[in-house]
Amino acid sequence: MAPYGYDKQHLTSDGKLLRILRWLPNGSKQEFGPDGKLLRVIEPGVNIKKAKSDIIRFVPSTPDRVAVVKRMFDLCVQGYGFHHIAQAFNDEAIPSPAGLKWNTARIAKLIRNPVYRGAIAWNRHTMGTLFGLDGDGKLKPKRKKMWQRNDEADWIISDDVHEPLVSKETWTAAQRAVAKRRAEHGNARPTKRTLLAGLMVCKRCGHPFTTIRDCRWPGPTGEGYRSYACSGYHRYGKSVCRVVNVPGPALDRFVLDAVRRTLLGDHATVEKAVAAFVKAVLAPRTKAKPTGKKLRAKDRPLANDFVSDAEFERLLAAWFGNMARVLEPGRGFYIWGGYANVANYPPVLKTCELYFSQAIIWVKEHPVLTRKDGRGSRVERVRFAWERGKVSEL
């Protein structure tokens, strides 16, 4: 298939024209004879066989397609991005090579293709399993056994093969403009620039924030709901970062108000506050002074908090024995305890002739601090049991 803006010309080995093929948006091909007359329309998927001695050459297609390619490069050189160019072509109902709407990926693919400067590039990607080729045609091992795009240094390019649609200077200027936009992020936009795009950096992945617009809601300006989003997630998905969207107008107002207060405020007071803040940050940290005040009840050491296993079993037998002595038959009781004692209570309850019924999970609504290596779970066990006999009430 010929690149957009070109037709494919078939020549014999001695330079005699055989046919010209022009691709249509629906995938079919028009075949023109040497005199330029339309011979037939070839259905999609049907290929034309050629002799090994035939020569294939790209020639400019219809004037309207050539004009689209030239305009695309001119807009890129002027500083307009792929999204702006695609949107402009879609607004003017210019059909793309596949007959669908233009998108940024298709614009980028055409802009980077050296065919439009009259060159043919080979080895732009590789499908080899073990080896690929470098720019000198030498084998080099591949890191992954899959299709991959090669670096531009590994492309094998033949210049001045066919008639160019744009000059080499224009093509090179377009590549510089693309690289500049990539380096400057949102600051390179000639239109619809936002205040903070490219200035904020995501702390999780290191990618800058970019501006996105949701046109499902027109917003106050009619250009859609605007927000700042992490370009790492916006471009590469969950493999790089998580979704982060910050309302654009609200953040812009906050930053502008902060700058306005700083510029219009008392400079002496501002400088004094900044100096005090810097001094507090750089001041060496000292240990807190000891206090002689009595600790609060919840801060005091707990009685019987650290006891031996034998002493703990004695205390359990005493506690549960007191409950068994005062409980009437059939009356129930609850034991609130941690997960670590899940195996300690039932044997002592059985010894005291108390019936262990079940463990109830209590889900707390706040974190629990413990002496464990990590923060405790929000789940705590509640044990329900009763004195053997008819259960009348709890």
| pLDDT one-digit tens code per residue, 327-369 | 888 788 888 777 677 778 888 888 888 887 777 776 666 666 6
The answer to whether position 373 is within a domain reads: yes
Average pLDDT over residues 308-333: 83
The answer to whether position 24 is within a domain reads: yes
Lowest-pLDDT range of 3-7, 180-184, 270-274, 304-308: 304-308
The answer to whether position 168 is within a domain reads: no
The answer to whether position 333 is within a domain reads: yes
Instruction: Give the pLDDT confidence score for residue 32 in this predicted structure.
Output: 92
The answer to whether position 320 is within a domain reads: yes
Q: Looking at 215, 235, 256, which one is the last position of a domain?
A: 256
| Chain segment 9-42, per-residue pLDDT in tens | 999 888 899 899 998 888 898 989 989 899 999 8
Please give the C-alpha separations between residue 264 and each of 124, 268, 270, 280, in angstroms, as whole numbers.
56, 12, 10, 25
Q: Does 318 lie in the same domain as 245? A: no
Average pLDDT over residues 34-56: 86
Burial of 126 (0-12, 13-18, 19+ CB in 10 A): middle
The answer to whether position 118 is within a domain reads: no
Other beta carbons less than 10 A from residue 112's beta carbon: 15
Token representation of residue 54: 């035939």
pLDDT band of residue 110 (cuts 50, 70, 90) is very high
By DSSP bridging, strand 17-23 and strand 38-42 are: unpaired
The answer to whether position 30 is within a domain reads: yes
Over 80: is that where the pLDDT of 394 sits?
no
As a whole number, the mean pLDDT across the chain is 80
Over 60: is that where the pLDDT of 290 sits?
no
- Collapsing DSSP to helix, strand or coil, 6 comes out as strand
Q: Looking at 61, 91, 106, which one is the last position of a domain?
A: 61
End-to-end CA distance of the chain: 84
Tokens 């506690």 -> residue: 319
Q: The domain that contains 310 carries what CATH number?
A: 3.40.50.150
Over 80: is that where the pLDDT of 266 sits?
no
Tokens 């889900």 -> residue: 363
Q: Looking at 61, 77, 106, which one is the last position of a domain?
A: 61
Q: Give the total number of structural domains in the chain.
A: 3
| Chain segment 323-338, per-residue pLDDT in tens | 888 888 878 888 877 7
Q: Does 240 lie in the same domain as 312? A: no
| Chain segment 78-103, per-residue pLDDT in tens | 988 888 899 899 989 898 888 888 98
Contact between 115 and 3 under an 8 Å Cβ cutoff? The reply is: yes
The answer to whether position 227 is within a domain reads: yes
Structural domain boundaries, residue 326: 306-387
Quickly list DSSP for 38-90: EEEEEPTT------TT-EEEEEE--HHHHHHHHHHHHHHHTT--HHHHHHHHH
Q: pTM above 0.85?
A: no
DSSP, res 391: -
User: Who's near 296: CB < 8 A, 6+ residues apart?
Assistant: none
